[in-house]
Amino acid sequence: MPAPAFMISQASTETVDPRDRLEYWEDYNRRALVGLSCTSYSERGLLARQANYRLGGLGLAEISGNAHAIERTPEIARSAPKDSVFVSLLVEGEAVFLHENGCLAATAGDLVVYDTRLPYLFGFSSAMRKFLVDIPRGVFADECTAGDVPAPLLFGRTSAREGALVVALRAVLENPGEDARGTVLDLVRLLAAGRTGERTAPAAYRTQLIIAQDHIERHLHDARLTPGRVADAMGMSARHLGRIFEAAGTTPARHILERRLQRAHADLAGSGTTIADIAHRWGFSSQAHFTRRFRARFGRTPTEARHSPR
């Protein structure tokens, strides 16, 4: 969840009379996000929550609810214009996205990018949660891709690299920092470049490093994790991955080892977990290998570290 310091408004229909919920939800979104109409398919009526945040000129909304549909009809698009590109990341649930030229089916983990000037319908068949990034179209054209979004784009399944980019974007949106704006735009640019064939500049190294570190963090427990596997997951060569980490003053292998040792060191303070279990948990091939690496890094054995004052 984004930090409260970034929040600018929030709303929930749960305390609203069921007869007034749709109107309430439409009114809130008209002011906080975009003009739309809403339909509920639940006997309980629309149960939805939304929190809106500001990320350095970008808008961010975290939205959850039961089964419902939102529609930006041609009439609404004309009467309530919005000149933005929306980046919608579905975290939970399933959805269909209808537009002038077709239909996209999205599941949890998928990302849909679309132009708010054009009509669309977003339907959710069950309980859902998503993040939505509001990028002014001028910013999108200047910092993400050279042109407009010709049609809604679905990301997340085409390749391992694309999936890694979407996962990294979710990590940023769930816990944005001070540099979240630049990282979000970098990630969207990398995704768009994969569809348009545009080349990414070395300036993208910072974002690629974030993606690689996120992938490593989620797979530290896997003893088979190697720089080669990280490179494959990101759709790049091991040599290019090495250049990314070199710019940060390390190597992929050293970073993997360092993070494993740090996580293991933190676990030693826990009770009831053997050193062998900790070594296995963080991907070390044996307790002896773990002990040797641990002593080289911290100047004492795991046993000594466990029993010494913190």
Query: Would you say 292 and 262 are in contact if contact means Cβ atoms under 8 Å apart?
Result: no
Q: What confidence score (pLDDT) does residue 118 get?
A: 93
Higher per-residue pLDDT: 88 or 217 = 88
Distances (CA, A) of 262 to 224, 238, 307, 310: 18, 24, 17, 14
Angle between helices 252-267 and 205-218 (to 10 degrees): 40
In the chain the first and final C-alpha atoms are separated, in Å, by 31
- Model-level pTM greater than 0.75? no
Per-position DSSP letters for 88-113, written without gaps between them:
EEEEESEEEEEETTEEEEEETT-EEE
Q: What is the DSSP letter of 144?
A: T
Q: How far is it, in rounded angstroms, from Cα 301 to Cα 292?
A: 8
CATH 3.40.50.720 fits 4-158, yes or no: no
Model confidence at 13, in pLDDT bands (50, 70, 90)? very high
Query: Would you say 248 and 209 are in contact if contact means Cβ atoms under 8 Å apart?
Result: yes
Model confidence at 148, in pLDDT bands (50, 70, 90)? low
Cross-strand bridge partners of residue 136? 84
Q: What is the mean pLDDT of residues 6-16?
A: 94
pLDDT tens column, 239-289: 989 988 887 788 999 999 999 999 999 888 776 689 999 999 999 989 999
Q: What is the mean pLDDT of residues 207-215?
A: 83
Which tokens in the block code for residue 118? 């054009």
Mean pLDDT score across all residues of the chain: 88
Residue count of the chain: 310
Query: Would you say 290 and 275 are in contact if contact means Cβ atoms under 8 Å apart?
Result: yes
Which architecture does CATH list for 201-310? Orthogonal Bundle (1.10)
- Assess whether pLDDT exceeds 90 at residue 91: yes
Q: What confidence score (pLDDT) does residue 246 get?
A: 85
Indicate the domain borders of the chain: 4-158, 201-310
Query: Would you say 54 and 60 are in contact if contact means Cβ atoms under 8 Å apart?
Result: yes
Q: What is the DSSP letter of 270?
A: S
Q: How far is it, in rounded angstroms, from Cα 285 to Cα 229?
A: 17
pLDDT tens column, 136-146: 999 998 888 76
- Assess whether pLDDT exceeds 60 at residue 308: yes
